Amino acid sequence: MSGFVSFVSSGPGDPELLTLKAVDRLGRADAVLFDDLSAGPILAHARAGADLVGVGKRAGRPSPRQDHVSRLLVDYARTGARVVRLKSGDSGLFGRLEEELVALRAAGIGYEIIPGVPSAMAAAAAAGIPLTRRETARRVQFVTGHDLTGALPEDMNMAALADPQATTVIFMGKRTFGELARRLTAAGLPPDTPAILAESVSTPAQKLVRGTLATMESLIAAEAADGPALILLGPLAPGA
């Protein structure tokens, strides 16, 4: 007997940003394997009696191994359960979705992927700006600020990231931003390029810190809290 897995994207944290399909799958699940950032009020939509299993990963904290998470998905589904794998933001963005899909395919277990509001879009909305602007920001690029070791990835395309007509959104980049900023400056991105630190977006702990490429490292050190954060760089809209 084989169950079914729904990869449900929970959005940036505000339960009102869940899609109708996400709420439906949570309400019918026998088991919910959730990320840390998908906990709290979002889990109130889970069916009463469902198994709620925390499998989240946070930088610098003890976290379940990815192979253990994938095995849990397979084991629950093999009991015939309807399983929700609840991921923050959109599950296809820096969420280790692929490793879990590979495990399900190898086990012959069916699945679906339900998209959600990406945290980058929620951050721009919270700041009151668009991510694209006619004539000045014709391209948006999403990058991660650290590799598997927690360091800034060595193979980042600095020429692309230093494009002054692109909006760049850096995920998980608080700890490595200083080094990234130095590399971007060396690659030609102007030091006065606008920057926004968007932390705990759409939650009661939301915090927005505005600065520039040159000042953001010190602003992060002085003002950042412990919440999940994005850093936006580029020709951001006036008032940002």
Whether residue 16 lies inside any domain: the answer is yes
Active site residue 35: yes
Whether residue 239 lies inside any domain: the answer is no
CATH code: domain of residue 36: 3.40.1010.10
pLDDT the model gives residue 59? 54
Same structural domain, 164 and 204 = yes
pLDDT tens for 21-34 read 999 999 999 999 99
Same structural domain, 123 and 224 = yes
If you search the block for the tokens 């040159």, which residue do you land on? Answer: 214
Whether residue 19 lies inside any domain: the answer is yes
Domain termination site, one of 66, 82, 114: 114
Whether residue 238 lies inside any domain: the answer is no
Looking at 21, 24, 36, 57, which residue is catalytic? Answer: 57
pLDDT tens for 34-75 read 998 888 899 999 999 999 999 976 555 556 788 899 999 999
Looking at 35, 87, 163, 174, which residue is catalytic? Answer: 35
Domain termination site, one of 114, 139, 170: 114
Same structural domain, 35 and 91 = yes
Same structural domain, 187 and 97 = no
What's the sign of the alpha-carbon dihedral 160, 165, 166, 167? Answer: positive
pLDDT tens for 172-212 read 999 999 999 999 999 999 999 999 999 999 999 999 999 99
Domain termination site, one of 114, 134, 162: 114
DSSP letters, 3-69, are -EEEEEE-BTS-GGGS-HHHHHHHHH-SEEEE-GGG-GGGGGGSPTT-EEEE----TTS----HHHH
If you search the block for the tokens 């759409």, which residue do you land on? Answer: 202
Whether residue 90 lies inside any domain: the answer is yes
Same structural domain, 31 and 84 = yes
- In the structure, what pLDDT confidence band is assigned to residue 238 with cuts at 50, 70 and 90? low
Whether residue 46 lies inside any domain: the answer is yes
Active site residue 51: no
Residues with Cβ within 8 Å of 173's Cβ and at least 6 positions away in sequence, in order, are 143, 144, 145, 146, 180, 229, 230, 231
- Measured distance CA(55)–CA(222) in Å, rounded: 31
Whether residue 240 lies inside any domain: the answer is no
Same structural domain, 58 and 144 = no
Number of helices (H) and strands (E), helices first, in the chain? 7, 10
Answer yes or no: pTM beyond 0.95. no
Sheet order of strands, 166-171 included: 139-144, 166-171, 229-233, 194-199, 207-212
CATH code: domain of residue 174: 3.30.950.10
What's the domain count of the chain?
A: 2
Please give the residue range of the domain that contains residue 29. Answer: 4-114
Whether 114 contacts 22, CB under 8 Å: yes
Same structural domain, 176 and 229 = yes
pLDDT the model gives residue 240? 44
Whether residue 209 lies inside any domain: the answer is yes
Same structural domain, 55 and 24 = yes
